Structure 1
Amino acid sequence: MMNYQKYKRFETISLPDRTWPDKHIEKAPIWCSVDLRDGNQALVTPMKIEEKVEMFQTLVDLGFKEIEVGFPSASQIEYDFLRLLIEEHLIPDDVTVQVLTQCREHLIRRTFEALKGLDKAIVHIYNSTSILQRDVVFNKSKEEIKKIATDGCQLVKDLCGEFDGKVILEYSPESFTGTEMDYAVEVCDAVMDVWGATPDNKVIINLPATVEMDTPNVYADQIEYVGRHFKDRNRMILSIHPHNDRGTGVAATELALLAGADRVEGTLFGNGERTGNVDIVTVAMNMFVQGVDPKLDFSHINDVKHVYEKCTKMEVGPRQPYAGQLVFTAFSGSHQDAINKGIHKYRERGSKYWEVPYLPIDPADVNRQYEPIVRINSQSGKGGVAYVMDTIFGYHLPKAMQADFASDVQKISEAEGEVSPERIFDTFNKDYIENEQPLKFVSQKLIDISEDSSNDFEREAIIKLNDHGNIRIIEGYGNGPIDAAKDAFNRNGYPYMHLLDYSEHALTSGSSSKAAAYVCLRAKGTSITEWGVGVHANITTATIKAMISAMNRIYKRLDDSK
């Protein structure tokens, strides 16, 4: 048995009048990417300068206005990278870079050396305030820990006098979630007092879940609690920096936004220490599918994924929300059927809102393709096969025919595994359209005989076909093309056929000038029924070809039963 008794719950706060459960996310927060710092330090092989530049440019293209570019006082490559961004003028005017440093004098001074030449920057200072770290790492009192923070703030303020640009201060009480909330408020207020924060000169107070310690609702309670208890909420931007130790980083972020957070620090696809930082892609796209503009552009998500994987040497998992290879894929037959029907209804209604079962987002909105949505294997049903034939190849199989063809595909999948759309169409083509033995269509002529008073019919069909290697011409009569064609077969020695079903449509994929006809026939005196399909620019020809296709399938069934 796992010894669960060695663990204890961290003491949480009481907030019975919490307001966040009744709120909705109505706008995007200020986004700050920490891919180049928090994300980069978590890589087995940290990014090279050229990879950092490519990642930075990708983040700019996505719409990030605040980007933490590194810890320039702690690493020469990060110092050099920041200098490159400045000296090569790679930072757009509307983007502010952020640098991180501990509240230590020599690190803060080195940080300001790296910033020379910038007109604005966010200087992010931090020190740990948690109960555990005060006890086992620093062995310091609350007052001593608070003094580390205020001394660091004072030094940044002093160095601003030597800096030509504007400095925005950010302060993080690291391991905030393991800190007493009243003490966290006390330290942050002290930092803001030293800085001289006002509504016109705000400080970014960043409250990190450096380690996820409890359920997301607790993080939300903590954010709402401290937001209420700061001296002046208007002199700060309340930022969050969630990690994902419990696997709930996204949920914690969303609830913290409901609780009053203004700003989110995170990474693409959740890269970061241990189980990672919060995944900004998922949080932003979750807003998007709720009708909220996320202010970040993931319309070409595969391109973002490519850059991420190239620069970080990490892989995006196949089930990663929105970007994973399989997230718009359905294997279950019931899911495939629901998707198929949902897509049709959405198109028929011309609805303003996307409402399709199992697909919370239209894949086209992130430049993903519809083709991979349904993949066919032995678990798939008729809906999935019908969806592939319709969406990819333009064949609207009659409902009664879908099960007939799906059973053929299922036999293939049981023998071969997953069946590709191309394999499905090849099977359809071979079994129905190119099914030309023992009968093969050659030509047809339809004559209007409605004005001939000597007969009771309106149409005469003259059909030329290859019958077991011999050319035959047969004639039939009826009140329409289908009746006349059916009569031609039934009166000329072929097994008498009952026409059970018929449908047709213009092909919506491939050659739009052609039509597809579907015919279901039953051989008289038997229970054998078969579908046939014909394709031709002339709908009468397509129908006759469909009849011949069905007859050939019946012939095969009769031969197999002997």
Structure 2
Amino acid sequence: MSNRVYIFDTTLRDGEQSPGATMNTREKVRLARQLERLGVDIIEAGFPAASQGDFDSVSEIAASVKNAEVAGLCRSVKKDIDAAWGAIKEAAKPRIHTFIATSDIHMKYKLGKSRDQVLEMTRDAVAYAAGLCPNVEFSAEDASRSEPQFLAKVVEAAIAAGAKTINIPDTVGYAQPYEYGELIRFLLDNVENSHKAIFSVHCHNDLGLGVANTLAAIKAGARQAEVTLSGIGERAGNAALEEVVMALNVRADYYGLETGIDTAQIYPSCRLLSMIIGQPIPPYKAITGANAFAHESGIHQDGMLKNRQTYEIMTPDSIGKSSSDIVIGKHSGRHALKSKLDELGYRLTEEQLSQVFQAVKNLADKKKQVFIEDVEAVVLEEVYRIPDKFKLIYLSSMSGNMAIPTAALKMEVMGEEKQLSDFGVGPIDAVFNTIDHLVERSPKLMRYSVNAITGGADAQGEVTVKLEENSMTSVGRASDPDIIVASAKAYINALNRLAKKESDLEEGRADGSGDHAP
């Protein structure tokens, strides 16, 4: 059995189904390039049959990625398979990933199909997909709750029909590590043609066992792990890429396995995702959290001073987490900025570079020091945002314990300039009230959070807001040294995303994302 574990990243598909993690096409392409830089073997780019928007983003990713395989997910029906192939066929290394449910509860209540029908659909779908693309992966959705003997029949049929990879997902995070490892062993031992395919696992984290189950399955013989950055995904999320990879890396003595991951790119990748979706990495998050390498206890500090290995089983440098370096200032030139952006993996046009250069210059006039994180925040805000229907032109606010909080704004609304002032219980409330009146909308504010991008009193504030209106939600984010301005920009960004969702619905682009996961 090979000692190589293949890393299948589904951040752009399953991860994006996580509430508040929606990304636009340019953001997806940027993250896909970083995943390639990280060294993942397969990037699951999306569900092309879900909408024209999904199809287009998968196609762009397929055209942008050169070294990693690009997979498109599809149900085991011809039209979905055709859509997946249409989106990925120009990829250097395309993969069709088709799935069907195999548990009794899913077959009865979701599919309305018998076991024989599901077995036949598996054969037909995999054979059809293999006729289009030689690299086919088959997933038995809800495999961990499927009857083992029937699951073995389905897997055998899928391999016989041309599947090169077999995924055994723990779709609802139900399995326990020992039990899940035993299921993988059972299939490897009892599926007659199991030697002709790589066995994969896709574990959800509903009981907090996603990583434990993934590692148990790998120990039992699975050789592909389906993971996401920071463990984002449906419900409680997925097995986290960084945790699985570093467990295999740190405990190479136990597993005796290797991956193709450049571990020094782990933290930059997770940080990029955090900035794109506007959700900070929790401080206690394993591997990448702010506290992962912090030591406050006197006993721990004493041990660290004598030998770091007393309380650290890996180093910050090993995951690419080091102190932020000053990379640009108001006296720096375009070439220095372009060089740093190239180093970070951004590929900007001359027009985009000029746009970012001016924004960084403006920021450098406000801040003493400009850090890597500041530059990335500028790029994401200036280059990767969706087209604006609503745009902030001017903002002034007044507040204090002897004043009524007031905000005055000038905005561009659907191409027309408007200005207004309004009140609130605080400066942020006044700003949001004024924006609502200017755009003539009344969304409900579901979440508001502020996070400092870097240290220091002059740090940029990164604001995230979540809005709900007409049963639709959107998340907006923005950064600025002025928290009031950042809040306004984030709120407007969320409104633009709501407007984009409405536009997509009007064009018949309902995403149907609730039923897209193995």
Match of 1:169 in 2: 136
Cα 1:26–1:336, aligned 2, differ >3 Å: closer, same or farther? Answer: farther
Matched, 1:117 2:70: no
Task: Report the residue type matching 1:360 in the other structure.
Answer: I
Q: How many residues align?
A: 320
The residue matched to 1:299 in structure 2 has which SS?
helix
- CA drift of 1:181 comes to 0.9
* Unpaired runs of at least 5, structure 1: 1-24, 161-165, 196-201, 344-355, 372-562
Partner of 2:75: 102
Contact (CA 8 Å) 1:71, 1:100: kept in 2 or not? yes
The answer to whether 1:141 aligns with 2:141 is no
Note the C-alpha offset of 1:302. 3.7
Q: Determine the C-alpha separation between the residues in 2 that align with 1:120 and 1:330.
A: 44
**1:38 alignment counterpart:** 14
**Which of the residues 119, 127, 130 maps onto 2:100?**
127
Displacement of 1:240 after TM fit?
0.9
| Corresponding residue to 2:319 among 343, 348, 366 | 366
- In the alignment, the residues of structure 1 paired with residue 262 and residue 93 of structure 2 have an alpha-carbon distance, to the nearest angstrom, of 25
- Whole-angstrom distance in 1 between the partners of 2:304 and 2:87: 54
CA-CA distance at 1:327 after TM superposition: 1.0
CA displacement 1:75-98 (0-9 Å, x = unmatched) = 222211122235xx4121x32111
The one of 155, 158, 166 aligned to 1:205 = 166
Alignment partner, residue 124 of structure 2: 151
Shift of 1:370: 8.7
Distance 1:297 1:248 in 2: 25
Which residue of the partner structure matches residue 223 of structure 1? 184
Tell me the TM-score normalized by structure 1: 0.54
Q: 1:304 to 1:120 in 2, by over 3 A?
A: closer
Of residues 290, 296, 300 in structure 2, which corresponds to 1:335? 300
Counterparts of 1:300 and 1:65 in 2: how far apart (Å)?
A: 14
C-alpha distance in structure 2 between counterparts of 1:143 and 1:97, whole Å: 31
Larger radius of gyration: 1
Report Cα offsets for 1:324-365 as digits up to 9, x if no partner.
00111122222222222224xxxxxxxxxxxx2221112232
Question: Is contact 2:185-2:221 (8 Å) kept?
Answer: yes
CA distance 1:194–1:305, shift in 2 (3 Å): closer
Equivalent position of 2:310 in the other structure: 357
8 Å Cα contact 1:227/1:233 also seen in 2: yes
Q: What is the CA distance between 1:309 and its match in structure 2?
A: 0.6
Match of 1:269 in 2: 230
Instruction: Report what 2:221 is aligned to.
Output: 260
Q: 1:330 and 1:370, CA in 2 relative to 1: closer, same or farther beyond 3 A?
A: farther
Cα displacement (A) at 1:220 = 0.4
1:298, 1:304 within 8 Å by CA — same for their partners in 2?
A: no
Q: For residues 146 and 240 of structure 2, what CA distance do their matches in structure 1 show?
A: 24
Query: Which amino acid in the other structure matches residue 236 of structure 2?
Result: T
User: What is the CA distance between 1:188 and its match in structure 2?
Assistant: 1.4
**Corresponding residue number in structure 1 for 2:289:** 324
User: Which residue, out of 259, 282, 286, partners 2:247?
Assistant: 286
Task: Give the Å deviation of 1:187.
Answer: 0.9
Matches within 5 A, 1:504-523: none
Match of 1:185 in 2: 152
Question: In 2, distance between residues paired with 1:360 and 1:187?
Answer: 42
**Structure 2 unaligned blocks of 5 or more:** 325-518
Q: Is the 8 A contact 1:40 1:312 kept in 2?
A: no
Alpha carbons 1:240, 1:261 under 8 Å: kept:
yes
133-142 vs 70-79, which deviates more?
A: 133-142
**Match runs of 1:359-508 below 5 Å:** 359-369=312-322
SS at match of 2:44: strand
Give, as a single letter, the amino acid of the residue that structure 2 aligns with 1:358.
Y
- The alpha carbon displacement at 1:120 in A equals 3.8
More moved, 257-266 vs 147-156: 147-156
CA distance 1:29–1:212, shift in 2 (3 Å): same
CA deviation map 1:467-507 (0-9, x unaligned): xxxxxxxxxxxxxxxxxxxxxxxxxxxxxxxxxxxxxxxxx
Report 1 or 2 for greater relative contact order, CA contacts < 8 Å, sequence distance ≥ 6.
Answer: 2
User: Is 2:49 aligned against 1:76?
Assistant: no
CA shift at 1:297, angstroms?
1.4
The alpha-carbon deviation at position 42 of structure 1 amounts to: 1.8
Amino acid at match of 2:8: C
CA contact (8 A) 1:129 1:184 kept: yes
SS of equivalent residue, structure 1 residue 231: coil
Give the letter for the 1:90 counterpart: S
Deviation at 1:136, TM superposition (A): 2.2
Identical-pair percentage: 27
TM-score norm. by structure 2 comes to 0.59
Q: Deviations over 1:289-312 (max 9, x none)?
A: 224653211314442232111222
| Correspondence for 1:55 | 31
Q: Which of 283, 298, 306 is the aligned partner of 2:263? A: 298
